[in-house]
Structure 1
Amino acid sequence: MSVYNLSYCTPDKIPSEVLNYDSTLEQMGVGKSGKLGILQLKLENDPIIHKTTIKYQHYKVPLCIKRAMYLEETCPEMAYIYIISPSGGILQGDRFRMDISLSNSAKSHVTTQSATRIYKMNKNFGTQIINLNVDKDCYLEYIPDQIIPFRDSRFYQVSNIKVHDEATCIYSEILTPGRVASNESFEYDICYMKVKSVNQYDKLRLIDIAKIEPKRENVKSFGILNNYDVLGSVYILTPKDKLNNIQSEILESLSKTKSVIGGCTKLPNENGVLVRMLGSFVEDIRNLIYSIVGILRRNVLNISFSGMRKI
């Protein structure tokens, strides 16, 4: 029996708010062919060609990747990896899992080819596990496009980020109100996203949860989204000696952006930096995230960021 079964792709301890939607599917059942998306990726620096290369890859559609690309002139050894979903998004009963690890001083920028669409569901829910492991002296940017929850969709995502104290990882999320052009703003049932990070000794660095249930709560109230529609989060795990400059520059960047409000705070015990942003348009949040990537590259790698490239 293959190890890549339903239990392998299903998160542990799914919150009760999500399990409330667990029921027998009217369409393809949970775990059937085409419902389990798997991506395993190991990246290492190759000392012969002086580039980060894919040392191991395994994927199962509806998740796959293209070959590594080298697009950054200021950092030619950095591997750009594009995650692709031929199904176009997550359907009811889908269980996706991604395991990405970096070792031997690898440097990589990982993104999605397009937005993650969470399709309408009449039974059950969709889940995604993201496991990132960043070893000593490695550098990872995980910057996916936005999440678009369709009407009546239910989605649970858990991200486990293991980062060595002498490594760097930046991880971002953008949550939109839905298909605004189709008059589907905040018509989804639930979007529950949990981020947990530990260091190489499994010592806790952060736990952060964003749970939005538009049909059960007024998401436009003060203290939630207020007058804004788009939520952005950025998690930066990097050596402590870099944090003061990074935080200072991010706060300056936030102060200059009139279309987005946000804050930047150090994590307990200086384990990293958390940035939270609210805006009215995805592009404004995305541009600010790119600005933060540029700040991180400048402080950690002493290089510039020429901007995102989509293929």
Structure 2
Amino acid sequence: MSWTGSIRLKAELKNARTIVSDTYYDGAFKLSRPVFFDELSPTYFLIHVGGGYVGGDKYHQLFCLEEGATITLTTQSATKIYKTMDEPAVQKTELVLKKESFLTYVQDPVIAYESARYIQDTTIHMESGAGLLMTDIFTPGWSESRGAFTYDWIRSKMNVFQDGKRLLMDHLFLNPSDEMDSVLLLEGYSHFGSLLLINKEVDVEFITELDEMLSPLGSNVRIGFSRLPIRGLMLRVLANQTQQIEKAFSVCEDLFRRRILRKDPIFYRKY
């Protein structure tokens, strides 16, 4: 398959530090130089050099962490999906996480503009002991008619496997023709956020403390938790502004870093 943009990255632990041992990018994807917010673990910014995704665009990402490696990946800016005339824009992401590795993957929002169609397909293969913190945000973009939810549809599929066994399957389909304001859809909100956290130390006490810290945000957003079959959680947020979802995600990530990793919070300084 010919990709509009492709990127792959392999990280490994060497002398107690995580290094990137192999990287390749092509087309519309670029990778920044490492930034060390954490002395032993690099942060990389994923860069799209085009103005946005259009119909027929196909992107592929492959990120592999060897045993014990720890790395943070984050996008440089929002992913903009413009009008798709025939085929949808597609992004496939594969994560391979070996035991005792941990990936933080913080993504800026996907903004779907008028007449946009977008497929996001994520497959995660983990070994026992590996961990992950990953975020997703989907929002409607500006339209000439100034109407709400003018994109055609957004489909996001995620499959998580641990030691070859399916751990989680998540399928989100946002279709404005389904009356997005109705019960069991967005219920009057316009923005949707999802945070997946998998770590062997995320227990009931952690979730209880997180719930208490998120309670003050409840007047502007709707927040829900789902516990996983293993140690971890799925956090869902409905809101009317991207910043409200990012605030909820920041509370979760900061608590995780402080309580479990024993590290200070990170401000990614993208804006």
Task: Provide the TM-score with structure 2 as the length reference.
Answer: 0.94
Matched, 1:278 2:246: no
- 8 Å Cα contact 2:63-2:95 kept in structure 1: yes
1:188 maps to 151
Q: Percent identity?
A: 25
Matched, 1:143 2:103: no
- 8 Å Cα contact 1:178-1:184 kept in structure 2: no
1:54 maps to 20
1:13 maps to none
Where has structure 1 moved over 4 Å in runs of 4 or more? none
- 8 Å Cα contact 1:294-1:305 kept in structure 2: yes
**Alignment counterpart, residue 208 of structure 1, candidates 141, 157, 170:** 170
Q: Secondary structure at the match of 2:36?
A: coil
1:179 maps to 142
Q: Would you say how many aligned residue pairs link Structure 1 and Structure 2?
A: 270
Matched, 1:170 2:130: no
Matched, 1:130 2:93: yes
Alpha-carbon distance between aligned partners in 1 of 2:97 and 2:214, rounded to the nearest angstrom:
28
1:243 maps to 203
Alpha-carbon distance between aligned partners in 2 of 1:205 and 1:109, rounded to the nearest angstrom:
23
1:140-179 CA deviation, whole Å, 9 max, x = no partner? 1111100000111110011112222212101110001222
1:217-252 CA deviation, whole Å, 9 max, x = no partner? 10011221111111000111111x432233122212
Q: Secondary structure at the match of 2:92?
A: strand
1:94 maps to 57
> CA 1:184–1:140 in 2, change beyond 3 Å: closer, same or farther?
farther
Matched to 2:211, the amino acid is L
- The equivalences for 1:1-311 within 5 A come to 6=1, 31=2, 36-47=4-15, 50-71=16-37, 75-179=38-142, 183=146, 185-199=148-162, 201-214=163-176, 216-239=177-200, 241-257=201-217, 258-267=219-228, 269-310=229-270
> CA 1:270–1:230 in 2, change beyond 3 Å: closer, same or farther?
same
Alpha-carbon distance between aligned partners in 2 of 1:45 and 1:184, rounded to the nearest angstrom:
50
- Kindly indicate which of the two structures has a greater share of residues assigned to strand: 2
Unmatched runs of 5 consecutive residues or more in structure 2: none
Q: Secondary structure at the match of 1:89?
A: coil
Alpha-carbon distance between aligned partners in 1 of 2:4 and 2:68, rounded to the nearest angstrom:
31
Matched to 2:180, the amino acid is V
- 8 Å Cα contact 1:150-1:184 kept in structure 2: no
1:15 maps to none
> CA 1:59–1:306 in 2, change beyond 3 Å: closer, same or farther?
closer
1:25 maps to none
Q: Secondary structure at the match of 2:197?
A: strand
Alpha-carbon distance between aligned partners in 2 of 1:182 and 1:112, rounded to the nearest angstrom:
29
Matched to 2:185, the amino acid is I
Alpha-carbon distance between aligned partners in 2 of 1:271 and 1:194, rounded to the nearest angstrom:
21
User: Which stretch has the larger CA shift, 102-111 or 112-121?
Assistant: 102-111
